[in-house]
């Protein structure tokens, strides 16, 4: 098993202190959604994914089954029922769901000291992760997953709410009747 350190990414949906039930697998998992910037160098991760596929299914790509790959487009993540991207997401940039159902990942700060206060590791901060790439094959589906082994917060960031900012959802309203109050609406 060889570990890889990811490039820096924006943290989204962190569940690194307590596991959360994955309803698809019915397993408790530690996880984080890693939002990489468009210019992030993901070559080492992509090479590891290809190596895992070759190890599992052989070098002949024609013999590979249809595979689920871990690299997803952030531009496909919309606020439910809208065409507004989730906060912190950028079309054309990659995200990866990093998960571990077997053990809690190590969570440290910039000085490699354990982060105990969960509020210090939040959606929007910047981190990098120690991961392991593996291939799975089932009768239903085949693919590659990236296991979260440890995570290091590298810097602060603007918190992500998961919802669009009000200025993205609404256009300004010009009130023509300055005397009207909200009391008159009810």
CA distance 28 to 168: 34
pTM for the full predicted model:
0.82
Q: Residues for the chain: how many in total?
A: 186
pLDDT digits (tens, 9 = 90+) for 142-157: 899 999 999 999 999 9
pLDDT of res. 31: 96
CATH classification of 4-158 is 2.40.50.140, yes or no? Answer: yes
Contact between 16 and 105 (Cβ < 8 Å) = yes
CA distances from residue 99 to 21, 134, 145 in whole angstroms, order as listed: 12, 12, 8
CA distance 92 to 42: 14
pLDDT digits (tens, 9 = 90+) for 9-65: 999 999 999 999 988 778 899 999 999 999 999 999 999 999 999 999 899 999 999
CA distance 148 to 127: 12
pLDDT digits (tens, 9 = 90+) for 102-145: 899 999 999 999 999 999 999 999 999 999 999 988 778 889 99
**For tokens 């190890």, what's the residue?**
55
């Amino acid at each position: 098993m060889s570990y890889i350190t990811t490039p820096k990414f924006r943290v989204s949906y962190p569940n690194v202190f307590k596991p959360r039930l994955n309803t698809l697998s019915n397993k408790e998992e530690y996880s984080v959604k890693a939002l990489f910037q468009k210019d992030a160098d993901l070559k080492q991760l992509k090479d590891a994914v290809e190596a895992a596929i070759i190890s599992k299914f052989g070098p002949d790509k024609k013999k590979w089954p249809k595979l689920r790959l871990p690299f997803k487009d952030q531009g496909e993540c919309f606020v439910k029922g809208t065409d507004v991207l989730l906060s912190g997401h950028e079309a054309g940039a990659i995200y990866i769901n990093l998960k571990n159902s077997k053990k809690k990942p190590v969570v440290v700060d910039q000085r490699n000291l354990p982060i105990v206060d969960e509020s210090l590791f939040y959606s929007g901060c910047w981190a990098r992760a120690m991961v392991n790439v593996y291939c799975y094959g089932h009768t239903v589906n085949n693919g590659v997953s990236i296991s979260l082994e440890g995570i290091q917060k590298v810097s602060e960031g603007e918190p992500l709410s998961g919802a669009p900012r009000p200025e993205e959802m609404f256009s300004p309203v010009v009130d023509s009747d300055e005397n009207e109050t909200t009391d008159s609406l009810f």
